[in-house]
Amino acid sequence: MIKTEKVLHLKSSRGRKVRVVREHYLRELVPCYSSLCQAESEGKVLSADVTHYVVPDAGVTRDFMEILEFREIQGLVFTQTACQAVQHSRGRRQYNRLRSLLKDPRHDCVLFANEFQEYSYCPREKGEPQDKWQTRCVYQAAVWYHDHLAGLKPVVMITEDQGAVAEYSSLNCGVYVLSTLEYLRTFWPELQAAHELYGSIAQALRERGNEGTEREFAEHLPAEVLEAGIKSGRYTQGTLNVNKHRAQHEAFVRFDGSSNKNSELDSDVLVWGGKNRNRAVHGDMVAVELLPKGEWRGRTTALTEGQGEEKGEESQGQPMPTGRVVGILQRNWRDYVVTFPPREETQSQGRNSLRILATPWDQRIPKIRISTHQADTLQDHRVIVRLDSWDSTSLYPNGHSVRVLGRAGELETEVQTILIENCIHIAPFSEAQLREMPASSPERPWTVDPAEVVTRRDLRDTHLVFSIDPRGCEDVDDTLSVRSLPPGPQGPRLELGVHIADVTHFVKEGTLTDLEARARATTYYLADRRYDMLPAVLSADVCSLLGGVDRYAMSVMWDLDAQTLQVNRVWYGRTLIRSSYQLYYEQAQALLNGEEAEVPELDHKLSHLIEALETLTQVARHLRAQRDQGGALELEGVEVRAQLDEDKNITALVPRQPLEVHETVAECMIYANHWVARKIQERFPQQALLRHHPPPRQEFFTQLQDSARALGFTIDTRSNKALADSLDQAVDPQDPLVNRLLRVMATQAMSNALYFSTGACPVDQYYHYGLALDRYTHFTSPIRRYADVIVHRLLTAAIAVEEGARPAKASASNKELEEMAQHINNKNRAAQHAQKVSMELFQCLYFRDKDPETAECCDAVIYAIRTNGVLVFIPQYGLKGALYLRNREGQVVRVSQDGRCVWEAGSLQRSLDHVSTTTASGTSTFRLFQHVTVRVSVQTSRCHADTLHLELVSNRAHRAPEPPDRTPRAAPPQGTRGRSQLVQEVVRQAEEALLQAEEKKGRVSELSKEEREFRQSKTPNLYSLLEEVREQALLDLTASARTCATSA
Amino acid sequence: MAGVELLSDQGYRLDGRKATELRKVQARMGVFAQADGSAYIEQGNTKALAVVYGPHEVRMSRSKTLHDRAVINCQYSMATFSTAERKRRPHGDRKSTEMSLHLKQTFEAAVLTNLYPRSQIDIYVKILQSDGGNYSACVNAATLAVIDAGIPMRDYVCACTAGFVDETPLADLCHAEESGGGTSLALALLPRGGHIALLQMDARLHQDHLETLMEAAMTACKGVSKVLDQVVRQHLQEVSALTGE
């Protein structure tokens, strides 16, 4: 090592300039991380099979990192100089992004510590400007790289500095200096996305220089002042939440627990108006200062249609703490989808027609100013945009466009929009990932490894294993078995087994597939398609426990007492199984009922199968009863059960109704999850991944209790048992919907179930409120949930420890696991939200194609009262919406004698259980749970998602002219059914339209074909999808809360 | 200083060293002829001068005299020009008194004081340039000076600091790393026997990490001792060549 000295001029804490001398050690041996290099280097290496290596300079790394993030660009060498420049000028967020890029094995890039290399380091000369020096350093590094690899690879340095290009380009052969644009043109002419992105960033950079000087907002306070203020309690720290319906004015700051020193503030702080919000964007972490009490305001309680600001003061609630934003602690900007305005609007935007104000899809985000040349071509297109900055001199934030999604209103565009807005990034599985997969093709199916057979318990001959899944299901991740054992000392015994696909055998920790699955965290189900967590070869073939083939499994087997079902012994372990029967639900139920079913006879196993199904049903009923004792809540599918109790005749139901066998399977899975949770928590008390469902806060039940009281029911919410019992009693024999709506409201009052690491939570918070279990986790669906994969690994480690073997690798620490749990929770939330939004999208598409005049009238039930309207639930389509009783002109609805509704001037009276309108010609009243008839139409919106608009037609229940089973009284819960039909119809129409468009073009273009392949499941199996959702709803309450929200 | 990254993902520290590498150590013995022993040391940019007088009879108050061994008197000071901002450093401020005391304790453990009853040994140390690890530079310089004075010691006393960043122990911290807010542990070691003469740490550290941190500091001390040993041997050769033996 050679010691040199660096002289720096730094600013001291008092603002004086200080001369600091730092040592700087140089060495010869600095790893270059290239696989061409002879020297051994550990960790990630650059692949040798690229045509060249790229060295971006400091400026390019700083400004154009988004382009470098393209996975197509390989052989990237970041220099230390460039990284430090990013760290200094762009702050930690950007730097962390660069760091994670360097760590991600999917990107072919490395960091070269050029300043510590003896020959590539060049000291800064006296009076040399910093950027010149940085460019020189990077060039020197590029030259060294080229020489170090003995000229085997050409090295390309990219810079934005034209002077540098001129100065250096001819100095060395083999080292090329290009500008970014030239580089992209020369090497990546086909990477259109990168070119567009480059254009938009460059444009944004150019525009940033010439800003106006007029100040629109107060300056943010410096970070030290904010920190001191938060410590002293003068400012409060929290996350900004913008009210979706009044995005212009209302925002709330929610505290993050610990930081709240101001104990008298227990509610959120209201931030009213744009000036007070001071450039904070939804999701940012901000510091707020409270305003004097005299300026406090209340939140608005009236229903608005997004444009209702004229409502005035009268509809305000209680004054609440109000404040203004004084500084932003952490920006939380993500990618936003915006819509470019049509041409006439662009021109009206002042002299500089290059700048465009685009409206984000998310109403909570302010308009974004974008500089672009493509304004004309991009009219009415949806585009992904990133925010760059928001100066105090500007009314709107500046951004640049990243990628064009497509024309607004097209199905594909809208679905992509939903994905982006929920931060779901799904690229198709890469070559490298697919290479890790075991080979399996129809000609040469995958077979078990004899070496593996020895280590596993072989259940192929001893157990009758079968699966029950939705019809046409490809990814079977759970199978069941049950058999009687020789009687023990206490009497006859049963052996119940749950066998889950052994995904962790194929997906080893740390592999590319594992990383990808971890990033996705779950399989995403949208209304018309799904995005798998694992590649299809695993999820639909090698891991899937298909009938008649040998498969690896993770099993839990209980040795039960046949009478009392007491657990004598539990066995956990890896097994080898061959599923004998792959049943679907209807088939299994038919077998149970002793009906004819098309089940092939296999080695006289059929009678055994029926016997096993019966035993299984018995066991499941027993388990269910046990949980009911504990207070398990039933939140969906309740009417089905009620009908079962009444006539016990399942064939009388609509075929797609939930069957008892659904519950049987679900109950077995809950049982398996529960026992695995117990096992891993016992073995790893500090680092097991469990799932808990915290008890809801009592105040959230107010609406439910009020609504129930209006009908004369009382709801006891003190415990989950009390709640379950009182919900069971709250049945109106006249109207089955009442109970369903009450249950939906109960579900809404609850929080979501969440994953957590046992070390991060006290033991008394492990409880699962909805399932009434003291420990719970997810173990049974590793093909579509990453949490289950982690649990599988934990269980394997637990078994290994018990057998005395030391675990091969230390399992994740509590902290890592907790971070992982947070990540999975976030992704799950995003997945559910995306699913919900996509369902709404399809509803809108469905109604859009209807003629508004002849639009179907349908039945709706009022379930909540607001100041200027009511909230209704439409059982036929399973959707909820607001029904306005007063329009913007101040007119109210009056119901005439024959039930027709007219708008007239009048007033509106709201009370707890009804709302009445008074006009000159009379009064009409709307009560809770009253049936009314509404007409559904679509309110189109150019920039945002379309919304459904409801219009009151009559205050009586809708009598459809159709067959009697469609009338509301007799209507079974058609939510799911109505929705599935709706989705099918929309998909069909969209595909027809697509085909027509293609025919018009006269040829089938390559691109659209690829696009359709990219959609993975071209003809989605809707039935399996919806069953999946339903099953999830039974398994845990998060899902049920969400499905209710969409279905009810 | 939350923004400074003390240890990069590639394992480099701010100045380009790896976690276990020491700064460059250069030393000379016998820099002043007037004193009984003297030495100058540079550990990176930390530069220290040590001077030893004695053993001689006790010149302080008689009551301090010890009848079975020698008294060690240490004085530590920093030059006004040793830091980036010039500062007057009066004698006897708290920091230097404490440092003097630490030095005294260290050398009482190392010097064979019982060979010189009723006498006194003076050690004066001055920091000429400060860049982290002042204590260890002082100890190392004083050791060389004591050897130069010909006072018998049990072993070299070698000192080094170690810090703890991102679960990794760092050896021989520089000023930027010390002021970064992390843990810093100073350790003086008698390397041959592995005896610890002094261990000092002010910051908080999880007890699980203490073991590894001490291990790192001891390894660093052993590295320092090798350098010092070389310096002593070279000095001896030079001196013996001069005297013609």
Report the gap between the CA of B7 and the closest CA in chain A (Å): 13
Interface check for A28 against chain B (CB to CB < 8 A): the answer is: no
Does domain A851-954 bear CATH number 2.40.50.140?
A: yes
Q: What is the 3-state secondary structure (H, E, C) of A766-821?
A: CCECCCCECCCCCCCCCCCEHHHHHHHHHHHHHHHHHCCCCCCCCCCCHHHHHHHH
The strand order across the sheet containing A901-910 reads A891-895, A901-910, A914-919, A922-927
pLDDT at A645: 30
Tell me which fold the domain A2-190 belongs to: Rossmann fold (3.40.50)
Give the distance from residue B83's alpha carbon to the nearest chain A alpha carbon, in angstroms. Answer: 9
Q: Do A111 and B44 count as a contact with CB atoms less than 8 A apart?
A: no
Among chain B residues, the shortest Cα distance to A32 is held by: B10
Residue A300, SS3 per DSSP: strand
Domain spans of chain B, in order of start:
25-243
pLDDT of residue A596: 67
Q: What pLDDT is attached to residue A309? A: 36
Contact between residue A46 and residue A108 where contact means Cβ atoms under 8 Å apart: yes
Tell me which residue of B134, B124, B128 sits closest to B81, measured CA to CA.
Answer: B128
B contacts of A31 (beta carbons < 8 Å): 10
Mutate to test the interface with B, among A4, A25, A79, A109 (most CBs of B within 10 A): A25
For an interface test with B, the pick among A3, A100, A111, A117 (most B C-beta atoms closer than 10 Å) comes out as A3
Superfamily of segment(s) B25-243? GHMP Kinase, N-terminal domain (3.30.230.70)
CA distance A18 to chain B (A): 7
Give CA–CA dist A115/A110, Å, rounded. Answer: 15
* Distance from the A115 Cα atom to the nearest Cα atom in chain B, whole angstroms: 8
Residues 6+ apart with CB under 8 A from A750: A693, A696, A700, A769, A770, A1037, A1041
Residues within 8 A of B (CB atoms), A 61-90 only: 80, 87
CB contact under 8 A, B84 and A20: yes
Please compute, for residue A302, the number of CA atoms within 13 A of its CA located in the half-sphere on the CB side.
22
CA A58, A59, A62, A68 dihedral sign is negative
Q: From A79, which residue of chain B is nearest by alpha-carbon distance? A: B10
Do the domains A223-301+318-403 and A2-190 match in fold?
no
Interchain pair A87, B45: CB under 8 A = no
What distance in Å separates the CA atoms of residue A746 and residue A281, rounded to the nearest whole number? 32
**Taking CA atoms, what residue in A is nearest to B18?**
A25
Q: How far is A529 from chain B (nearest CA, A)?
A: 40
By C-alpha distance, the chain B residue nearest A25 is B16
Cβ B9–A5 below 8 Å, yes or no?
Answer: no
Residue of A1, A25, A113 with shortest CB distance to B10: A113
Structure token pair of residue B13: 């520290």
Q: What is the mean pLDDT of residues B53-82?
A: 87
Check CB contact under 8 Å for B17 and A25. Answer: yes
Virtual torsion, Cα A465, A470, A471, A472, nearest 10 deg: -90
Tell me how far apart the alpha carbons of residues A824 and A533 are, in angstroms, rounded to a whole number. 12
* Cβ neighbours around A741 below 10 Å, total: 25
Q: Output the pLDDT for position B187.
A: 94
Residue to mutate among B17, B131, B179, with most A CBs inside 10 A, is: B17
pLDDT tens-digit map of A799-841: 888 887 665 555 667 788 888 888 999 888 888 888 888 877 7
Q: How far is B79 from chain A (nearest CA, A)?
A: 17
**Closest chain B CA to residue A33:** B10
**Chain A / chain B CB contacts < 8 angstroms:** 55
Q: Which residue numbers in chain A have pLDDT < 70? A: 1-16, 38-44, 207-216, 256-267, 299-318, 343-354, 596-604, 634-658, 736, 805-812, 849-856, 875-879, 888-890, 897-900, 912, 955-1048
Report, as an integer, the average pLDDT of B24-46: 92
Q: Is the peptide bond before B55 cis (omega within 30 degrees of 0)?
A: yes
What distance in Å separates the CA atoms of residue A311 and residue B161, rounded to the nearest whole number? 69
CATH code: domain A223-301+318-403 is 2.40.50.690
* Interchain pair B16, A24: CB under 8 A: yes
A13 part of contact set with chain B, CB < 8 Å: no
Which chain B residues touch A223 with a CB distance below 8 Å?
none
Asked if residues A831 and A1038 have their Cβ atoms less than 8 Å apart, the reply is: no
Every domain of chain A and the residues it spans: 2-190, 223-301+318-403, 431-439+446-690+774-831, 851-954
Other Cβ atoms within 10 Å of A835 Cβ, number: 23
Chain-chain contact of B15 with A5 (C-beta, under 8 angstroms): no
Which residues in chain B touch residue A16, judged by CB atoms under 8 angstroms apart?
A: 85
Residue A208 distance to chain B (closest CA, Å): 26
CB contact under 8 A, A87 and B23: no
Alpha-carbon A962 to chain mean position: 40
Which of A567, A566, A568, A570 lies closest to A557, judged by CA?
A570
Q: What is the ipTM of this complex?
A: 0.86
Q: CB burial class (10 A; 0-12, 13-18, 19+) of residue B128?
A: middle
Residues in chain A: 1048
- HSE at residue A133, side-chain half, CA atoms within 13 A, is 13
**Per-residue pLDDT tens for B123-156?**
999 999 998 899 999 999 999 999 999 999 999 9
Q: Give contacts of A 93-122 with B, CB under 8 A.
A: 99, 102-103, 111, 113, 115-116
Nearest to A424 by CA among A955, A971, A832: A832
d(CA A397, CA A395): 7
pTM score over 0.95: no
A103 contacts on B by Cβ (under 8 Å) = 9
Neighboring chain B residues of A80 at a CB cutoff of 8 Å? 8
One-letter amino acid identity for A34?
A: S
Closest-CA residue in chain B for A111?
B10
Find the residue in A nearest to B14 (Cα): A24
CB contact under 8 A, A21 and B131: yes
Angle made by CA atoms A592, A672, A496, in degrees to the nearest 5 = 50
- Which of A22, A25, A111 comes nearest B176 by C-beta? A22
Radius of gyration of chain A (CA): 32
CA distance A794 to A685: 12
Q: Which tens digit of pLDDT belongs to each residue from B198-237?
A: 999 988 888 888 999 999 999 999 999 999 999 999 999 9
